[in-house]
Amino acid sequence: MQPLVAAVLVGIPLAWLVGFAAYAYLDAPKHGMDPQKWALIAFFVPLFGFFAYVFERGERDYDPSEDPYAAGNDARTAGLAVHERRRGEKRLGPAGTEADDGDEADREDEWNDPDGVDIDGER
């Protein structure tokens, strides 16, 4: 067998095993697991060991106090928080044009619903 072919046939699967083991070793402490144990399992039990690690690890809990974009407990603005470097900039409208905030009457009739359509239950 040619040395290049042998190197490819052995090297590529070995590189994948090393990559799986390295990922398990670096990721396991974040989930409170033993990194050496899971790296060895991921390396010596090809493919199944890595998937066993992925399915065995626990999900990390979400802590909104650590999320810089969660706007406190206000559910209306939590997904619309603005990065601190962008505060004070003018809003952009469609296609990068400057947004026109308009007056209150325009905002209430934003969708220009035809007569007889009652979306908000107001009539």
3-state secondary structure 57-90: CCCCCCCHHHCCCCCCCCCCCHHHCCCHHHCCCC
Task: Indicate whether 74 and 46 sit together in one domain.
Answer: no
Give the separation between CA 65 and CA 109, rounded to whole angstroms. Answer: 36
Task: Indicate whether 71 and 50 sit together in one domain.
Answer: no
Domain count for the chain, please give it: 2
Residue 91 resides in a domain: yes
Residue 103 resides in a domain: no
Task: Indicate whether 35 and 79 sit together in one domain.
Answer: no
Residue 35 burial by CB count (10 A; 0-12/13-18/19+): exposed, middle or buried? middle
The pLDDT of residue 7 is 87
Residue 37 resides in a domain: yes
Tell me: the pLDDT tens digits for 42-91? 999 988 999 999 999 877 777 777 766 665 555 545 556 667 777 777 77
pTM confidence score: 0.50
Residue 107 resides in a domain: no
Residue 113 resides in a domain: no
Task: Indicate whether 73 and 51 sit together in one domain.
Answer: no
Q: Which domain holds residue 31?
A: 3-56
